[in-house]
Structure 1
């Protein structure tokens, strides 16, 4: 026992020593990097980051987890069940419309869906579970990203995104019935080729309901192997470059979604337009690996904890019709994506 205590004490002392010395090493790295001359116009990227993706195909799956639901409406009541699996599928594509040294304009398209499969559903099961069973909640969208470099040190970017989010169960609908909009604005400073910091805001659905969220951009490469990429508080991850063809990440990511639902079965059909919102946080480990030049794949896994998972009585409402409590669960995702060929990125 004394040997175990001494061992733990030594580990704690070593950890404290590392933490105390860390500011010195970071300061030394910063002094060295600040002396480098920036020869290109400023951008959010730093050396060592993964390549930009042109086309991405992703599949993600969560195994079974429990769900408990509560409602103040006596017609709906409370319920509980088990989600046997939760699947997500996404296809995204990006293409440059303008690619000049100081101005870049990129257009993007995305198609995403998620579905829930419940265990042991019957005609008397909780109404929300019956409705969501095998229902494809879809998101179809397009976006424009404009990046302008003011000089070698300063830049800003604007992203405007529109999506049609919902269950797509009605024929007599207008585009406005499913339309969701997101706007991102950011201003950044490129301190060196290895260090970028910025501030920004988003008007979007990261936490379920559309509102304004602040953000801090921090991208930093400390040496050829280690770096940090983050837009706090939405995401942050540590990067390890094994080599130019293999990258590892560890961190977290906040995800949110909002779907407009038009239910045709009572008692939920008594509400004209419902809104289903979710927000969750993922702790993740990720590996990216080159298959051949422009073709890469990624494997990601971790733990997802739901923060909010609720149904509202109408779109944009703050009145919760059903509050869901979902157990945390592990997840795994696989991804394949295209990047610019090496001959286009090497000078």
Structure 2
């Protein structure tokens, strides 16, 4: 199958990452010297640690399978406000529905990595390659839309339902996280991310000109071993469109280590209950999203992109299987935030935010189904 090259690549990365992380276990743990001082009685400078007690284990490498229950969808007609130059826009309130049907299945494999590159008391750098493959089984995909999808030059293209059914969507990203402790309580976290998203395959890889960049910076205080907070700002695509949002961190664990919170709003927010040191339950939500290029409609040097964003309220159970291998099971509700489309002039993105009035190329809607996710993870010691 033509998609096997994806899985071979990520399986290789999985194995290499496992060996790299496993090799670190043989390194000396310098934290055992925290209580010592130099012979000349000069105090050792102490730094804030990157976690607090009781938090869910950090996932270095993970593989999971995600699946959504069937749901109905409606796609508007496809317009090209940039390349056609006619200024025509889809009516957001009353879009011209050109295609509707049922997505009987939506989901696929996900690979996630977060490998420690440098791990010192004064600086931590973690890096990871992540991949999300989303396949669609569209019940009405073989049927023609009400009107054919015509490109500005008059040629006919596949409908969006056909594209999703035949190609699916996928995202690959490279994420780097840097933790800078300033002293024993204060710290700064910086994260950068590059995404390539669309209906591409390795056999027909899309141009790197469509890379989308995200970043976040957070200033925080580790008050004690059970509580830390932080505030910051992020440039993000988690709602599909490019956006700039404030960030709030609030991690807390009760003194008996049973209850806690793990919050990095708006990306995610959980309440945690620890059954034991080897099992826990999370209740909360994730915010997922990215801008997916549709190659069929990307013409005249422009990029046509589905602004996919979704909120996922969920329950997640995590438990130790053996050693550093943990299993996770999620069940929740996938709420459609955005599935509209934009045509980007010369591949250049723009900021619409929550109040912009830039023209859409499509206005689409998805019903909200239940979803399930099961996975295995190699976690931090």
Q: Is TM more than 0.5 here?
A: yes
1:236 to 263, 269, 275: 269
Equivalence for 1:174: 207
For residue 284 of structure 1, what is the aligned residue in structure 2?
314
- Superposed CA deviations along residues 266-306 of structure 1, whole A, max 9, x for unmatched, are xx879953111111111100100100011011000011111
Q: Which residue does 2:260 correspond to in 1? A: 227
Question: CA offset at residue 59 of structure 1?
Answer: 1.0
**2:107 equivalent to 1:101:** no
Verify: 1:305 aligned to 2:335, yes or no. Answer: yes
Task: Structure 2: state its 5+ residue gaps.
Answer: 1-44, 80-87, 91-95, 147-158, 351-357
Cα distance in structure 1, aligned partners of 2:280 and 2:106: 27
Deviations 1:188-221 (A, max 9, x none): 0111111100001111201111221111100011
Shift of 1:323: 1.1
Question: 1: CA distance between counterparts of 2:341 and 2:134?
Answer: 16
SS across alignment from 1:323 = coil
Partner Cα distance (2:127, 2:264) in 1: 21
2:132 aligned residue? 112
Structure 1 unaligned regions, length at least 5: 1-38, 342-347
Question: Which sits farther off after the overlay, 69-78 or 229-238?
Answer: 69-78
Count of aligned positions:
299
Task: Give the counterpart of 1:202 among 219, 229, 234.
Answer: 234
Task: Give CA-to-partner distance per residue, 1:68-119, whole Å, 9 cap, x none.
Answer: 2223859985221111111132112222221111111112111222122111
Match in the other structure for 2:305 = 275
Q: CA deviation at 1:173?
A: 5.0
TM normalised by structure 2 equals 0.73
Q: Does 65-74 or 78-87 show the bigger shift?
A: 65-74
In 1, the alpha carbon distance for the partners of 2:205 and 2:281 equals 47
- Residue 251 of structure 1 aligns with which residue? 284
Q: Who is 1:18 aligned against?
A: none
**Alpha-carbon offset, residue 47 of structure 1:** 0.9
Instruction: Indicate conservation of the 8 Å contact 1:217/1:230, yes or no.
Output: yes
| C-alpha distance in structure 1 between counterparts of 2:97 and 2:380, whole Å | 53
CA distance in 2, matches of 1:67, 1:104: 44
Residue 135 (structure 1) aligned with residue 167 (structure 2): yes
Show the counterpart of 1:83.
103
Task: Kindly indicate whether the alpha-carbon contact (under 8 Å) linking 1:262 and 1:272 is maintained by their aligned counterparts in 2.
Answer: no
Counterparts of 1:307 and 1:287, CA distance in 2: 25
Cα distance, 1:66–1:214 mapped onto 2, change above 3 Å: same
1:313 is displaced (CA, Å) by: 2.5
Contact 1:44 1:219 in 2 (8 A): no
Note if 1:60 corresponds to 2:92. no
**Aligned to 1:66, what secondary structure does the other structure show?**
strand
Q: Look up the match of 1:153.
A: 185
SS in 2 for 1:78: strand
Please give the secondary structure, in 1, of the residue aligned with 2:51: coil
